[in-house]
Chain A
Amino acid sequence: MKNTAHINPLENEAIYIIREVAAQFEKPVLLFSGGKDSITLVRLAQKAFHPAKIPFPLMHIDTGHNFPETIEFRDKLVEELGLELIVRNVQDSIDQGKVREESGKYSSRNVLQTTTLLDAIEEFKFDACIGGARRDEEKARAKERIFSVRDDFGQWDEKNQRPELFDMLNGDIEHGQNVRVFPISNWTELDVWSYIEKENLEIPSIYFSHKRKTFLRDGMIWTASEHVYREDDELVEERTVRFRTVGDMSCTAAVNSHAATISEVVAEIRISTISERGARIDDKRSEAAMEKRKQQGYF
């Protein structure tokens, strides 16, 4: 290896941002979904503070409808790396009567997470939440700052955002406000996959080709599960698929794929003509679906 600390501009930028969080805030947390973006964040945080431990916990908002493979993976990763993990459950918010379960054909717990997340932020008095959202994912996210201030109600004021100049990050906030931080804002899906390949990171098995019981709706491949509403005429078939994003079973569609290794996945994404969020049913609710959810405090 060449004896100069190498320039990967995106990696260096992300490490810089994560260090700013640790330095500027009292109680940061890393929002961890078990997906590839948050796995990447964990590696970046390790790099930022080595040889010290990551100086903040991870938090998972569990909808209860996650793929079991993701949860297994999450617990294994946390144990191996000796990290602190906080889990808060959407089911508890439902049981407390704070949110009501959606019903019908397109019901999902995706939107309900927001309440659980905001409650957890208040419970632990988190002042900064690090997340793996990327600007290339979706057009409302393309407008997002790296340090994005949220008010007491967790709301995003998209028309009145702080300007972000140079690489200076202004984390000054009032008591009760918090900041959402997006260290991999400038990464694309392909950047994330290339990084996972280069760093040889482990990821949940559902990202790779596997056989799964699925059904078709609106041209998308849905998982057949007790958590996903299905009409009688929607026939279940076994298909060879993988997932490009890891969300709730009820809002994440699969894609037909034979990519069984990371390099095959990277090759597949390089030639793909569908965007990653093209398989996110939650974004299809309307053209402004993401913007609306973000205003309400969605991650």
Chain B
Amino acid sequence: MEVLKIATAGSVDDGKSTLIGRILYDTKSLTSDKLEAIEKTSKQKGYDYLDFSLATDGLVAEREQGITIDVAHIYFSTKTKSYIIADTPGHVEYTRNMVTGASTSQVAIILIDARRGVIEQTNRHFFINNLLRIKEVIVAVNKMDLVDFSEEKYNAIKADFEALMSKRDYKEQKITFIPVSALQGDNVVNKSEKTPWYKGDTLLNHLENLNTIDVYNQGTPRFPVQYVIRPKTEEYHDFRGYAGKVYGGELSVGDDVVVLPSQTKSKIKDIYFYDKKFQTASRRSSVTITLENDINVSRGDMIVKADDIPTIDKQLTATICWMDSNQLTTGGKYVIQHGVNKVIAKVDKIHHKINPDYSGINTDVTGLDMNDLALVSFKLNKPMFYDAFENHRTNGSFILIDTQSNNTVGAGFIK
């Protein structure tokens, strides 16, 4: 079964939760007890329709305020695919959640209220999905019922959005427009009769037809060592296995490899998945590798192909999304977690802030506040083995950890 992760983005009241509820309802993924609970609560609140957002807003505070505060994960499956939807909040102050949701997704759905069209928030949602190099973006023009399913209105919104698209960095991103009414179910799962002018797929059909090329793994093979397996039993007395997940490409028995940072050369001897040996480890498989030579490898080291070595450096420059209420300032020290590797990083220079709405950059910066995006250079206490984010989504990204609170305070996309 293929698994597709989808991030949603939209402003408050664009109807994100309603759209997800609609998908669940029309694919018959809502079980009768959950449906009963929604009916009961909708009635209590005096609504004359079913409030599908109740299916996803899981926290008391969310239901009280009628808004989504935190990312929720929703699951449904069809005959061909399993879907995981990250329902992300639309409020400006919760932008960090949007970055979070998008960081694990292959597809993004951006919602636009047909009455309001492209607004400043839409720019942000698109900017972030483009920054994170989400390969497939669906622009769902919602609440079409409230504009009489007007083709002119839809085309005007589409044209506004296309104007935004010309400014994007990641040009290969595929964008599909769909006119929908989440509340009434038009073009979500079932084709609408009210939009005869729309010739494309429904939202679900579009997802069903997507080729699930895992966009995380574009690039070359990287094998960060997660854990060293030494059974020390009689049978496996000399066994030294390196456990980890393969990113970017395949690794095979006999491949010439280099272990970083020592740059020791070796060859892949065996590839294990559980108790079976394999010739090849495919992308994203969690395998255990043994090497021909008895060399010293530990957690945080990286095994790469000898003819394709990443950048090895004690400094880096990255686009940072800052997620903490305490400011990031020049000279500040943080832990960079790069995959399973950790290094100490000092902020060397904040070059400029990036306005996440395509309105340019701001060079007059002293520090970063929550939800700021900026280009920042770091000095590292030991070398990191990295690729540019545009070439390798996994090996080109990291998180920042505050050394005092231990909180995850930022995300980085390496230049």
Which A positions have Cβ atoms within 8 angstroms of B?
A: 1, 3-7, 9-13, 15-16, 19-20, 22-23, 46-53, 135-136, 138-143, 158-159, 161-168, 170, 172-174, 185-186, 188, 190-191, 272-275, 278, 287-288, 291
Contacts and interface: CB of A to CB of B under 8 A. Distances in A.
Interface residues of B, number: 82
B239 interface: yes
Given A10-B3, A50-B274, A163 B100 contact: yes
A6 B340 contact: no
Contact of A7 (B70, B104, B282): B282
Contact of A142 (B73, B227, B286): B73
Interface in B238-296: 239, 241, 243-245, 250, 271-276, 278-288
A272 B82 contact: no
A273 B73 contact: no
22 contacts: A4-B281, A5-B271, A5-B278, A5-B285, A12-B284, A16-B245, A19-B226, A19-B227, A49-B227, A51-B235, A51-B239, A52-B231, A52-B233, A136-B75, A163-B99, A163-B100, A165-B411, A167-B394, A173-B406, A188-B75, A287-B37, A287-B41
B408 interface: yes
Given A5-B281, A15-B286, A143-B58, A161 B401 contact: no
Contact of B282 (A4, A20, A23, A172): A4
Nearest to B68: A143
B407 A162 contact: yes
B84 interface: yes
A159 B70 contact: yes
A186 B278 contact: no
Contacts of B58: 138-143, 291
B414 to A, nearest CB: 12
B81 to A, nearest CB: 11
B217 to A, nearest CB: 10
Instruction: Identify the interface centre among A5, A47, A186, A188: most chain B CB within 10 Å of its CB.
Output: A5
Nearest to A275: B31
* Interchain residue pairs A-B with the least CB separation, the first 8: A139-B58, A278-B33, A172-B406, A15-B286, A52-B231, A5-B273, A275-B31, A3-B279
B82 A191 contact: yes
Nearest to A158: B59
A186 B229 contact: no
Nearest to B323: A163
A12 B399 contact: no
B243 A186 contact: no
B154 interface: no
B285 A165 contact: no
Nearest to B339: A168
Contacts of A51: 229, 231, 233, 235-236, 239, 241, 275
Contacts of A49: 227, 229, 243
B202 interface: no
B72 interface: yes
Chain A contact residues, majority secondary structure: loop
Interface in B79-102: 82, 84, 96-97, 99-100
B285 A6 contact: yes
Contacts of B398: 168
A5 B74 contact: no
Contacts of B232: 52
Nearest to A8: B1
Contacts of B239: 51
Nearest to B300: A23
Given A143-B70, A168-B399, A272-B31, A52 B229 contact: yes
Nearest to B97: A163
Given A139-B72, A143-B59, 4 more contacts: A139-B56, A161-B70, A272-B31, A275-B31
B397 A166 contact: yes
A219 B99 CA distance: 44
B71 interface: yes
A197 B348 CA distance: 54
B119 interface: no
Interface string B338-356: 1110000000000000000
B5 to A, nearest CB: 9
A137 to B, nearest CB: 10
B32 interface: yes
A174 B250 CA distance: 38
A47 B274 contact: yes
Nearest to B404: A174
Instruction: Identify the interface centre among B73, B99, B393: most chain A CB within 10 Å of its CB.
Output: B73
Nearest to B61: A159
A166 B273 CA distance: 23
B67 to A, nearest CB: 12
Given A5-B280, A143-B71, A48 B104 contact: no
Contacts of A165: 99-100, 103-104, 397, 399, 408, 411
Nearest to B35: A273
A275 to B, nearest CB: 4
Nearest to A290: B58
A12 B125 CA distance: 30
B55 interface: yes
Nearest to A295: B60
Given A9-B284, A168-B339, A170-B337, A274 B31 contact: yes
Contacts of B56: 139, 142
Contacts of B99: 163, 165
Contacts of B299: 23
Contacts of A174: 406
Contacts of A1: 276
Interface string B23-56: 0000000011110010001000000000000011
B227 A6 contact: no
A186 to B, nearest CB: 6
A161 B97 CA distance: 10
A136 B283 CA distance: 26
Given A158-B59, A168-B398, A190 B77 contact: yes
A142 B37 CA distance: 16
Interface string B345-383: 000000000000000000000000000000000000000
B298 to A, nearest CB: 10
A212 B386 CA distance: 60
